[in-house]
Structures are given as structure tokens and as C-alpha cells.
Amino acid sequence: MAATDVDIEQEVRLPVDGVTLVGDLARPAAARGAVLFAHGSGSSRHSPRNRAVARVLRSSGLATLLIDLLTRKEEAEDAATGHLRFDIALLARRLVVVTDWLHQEPATGRLPVGYFGASTGGGAALVAAAERPEVFAVVSRGGRPDLAGPALPRVSVPALLIVGGDDVPVIAMNRAAAARMRAEVRIEIVPGASHLFEEPGALERVAALAARWFEDHLPPPADAS
């Protein structure tokens, strides 16, 4: 399936916590699953890195929803204070609301859901997965799963933790978090990659690993025979 073979492409606006979250939903024809993106601190649904990964996932038959878990006003506040980006409980709670919407939306309701988290979004994705066991798989890119704290042992879905080989402190954080998890977890280190995976070929490797993980762990759509 070509990456341009998109059956549905729309802006999503969801009320939560008295604010409105904005996202971009794209579903390829005959989609077999949906991946919800949880962006990291200082990032957004316009992140070129996550959008590049999303294109690869769509080419493998997965719908993608890139949504800002903070509003523009909250992002501006966070730029000054830095406190919202580490409010994992808030980010996870909003991720759960968006997940429930995906399950109720006609375009995606039959599709099994996975999470793709980056940076602090990786921690939020694991906390949300602990709250929503009907989420079937989690992929973290340069994530902070350690921020999921006490939720880690409650995660029941398989998780792939992708870390850059040169991102030494985050490697240690991911290993410590993985040791606390009871579900299937794998750490994949991309040699020569930094935290943002900006090196040639690094992001392509992330996308390929994520696509394979979702392919292996997302079940068929609800109406599939």
C-alpha cells in the first residue's frame, strides 16, 4: 500500500479537561490498526520526526492519529515553567480520553489500537496503557518510560523501547524501567543515533522497528474473519 493511499484524512478536535485538543487523523484504505502518537516535551503533532514515522506506519496499513496533548496556551506556559511536560498523569489522562474516542469513532472503532510515544510521551503512553489494557502494543522512541513510575508493573501489553546508541543517560533510564515491567518488553538500541535520531538512516530504522512491532502485536480488526 502506498503512503499516499489514504481513505480518510481529517482534523480532530476533542474536549478534555475544559480545553480542546487538536489532532490529525489519517486512515489508509483497509486499515488493520490505529496508532495514537504521544509527543514529547516541546514537540507537537507537526513534529517532522513523528510525521515521518506516521507515513511509514500508514504505508504498512495503520491509521495514525497525531494529537497535541497540550493546547497552544499550555505549551506557551510550559515553555516558561517547564512543569506541564513532566505532568505524566495529566498527559496520560488525556491520552486515555483520546483512546476512548478512537474506539467510539466510526472510522476507527473496529481497529485495534497501539501507542507510539516519544520522550516524555513514552512515559505517558505506558501509564495510559496500564489504564487501558485494550491497547495492544506500545512503542517508545527516545522515551522516558522511567516517568511511568508505579504504573510500570501494571502494564500488560508488549512494549518496544527504542533508544539511540549515543543517548547514554536515556539508555540507562530505559533499562531501569524495563526491569520493573512484567509484560513483554524489548529494548532496541540504534547504533550511532542521538536522542532525536537525526543521523542518516536512524529515523528510518525507528519507523521500520515500530511498523514490525505493531504488525506482530496488533490483532486483526474486530470485523475481520
pLDDT (tens digit per residue) in 182-204? 999 999 999 999 998 999 999 99
Q: What is the mean pLDDT of residues 100-118?
A: 95
| Beta-strand pair 113-118/159-164 | unpaired
Q: Where are the domains of the chain?
A: 6-217
High-pLDDT (> 90) share of the chain, %:
75
pLDDT for residue 223: 72
For the stretch 15-61, pLDDT in tens is 998 999 999 999 999 899 999 999 866 666 877 888 999 999 999 99
Q: What is the pLDDT of residue 163?
A: 97
The mean pLDDT of the chain is: 90
What gap in Å lies between CA 31 and CA 88, rounded to an integer? 30
Provide the pLDDT for residue 76. 78
Distance (Å, rounded) from C-alpha 42 to C-alpha 154? 28
Under CATH, domain 6-217 is a member of which superfamily? Alpha/Beta hydrolase fold, catalytic domain (3.40.50.1820)
Check residue 216 and give its pLDDT: 97
132 vs 118: CA distance, rounded Å: 19
Measure Cα distances from 108 to 99, 104, 176, 221 in Å. Answer: 10, 8, 35, 10
Judged against a pLDDT cut of 50, whether residue 4 lies above it is answered with: no
Share of the chain above pLDDT 70, in %: 91
pLDDT at 80: 67
Say how many C-beta atoms besides its own lie within 10 A of residue 130's C-beta.
Answer: 22
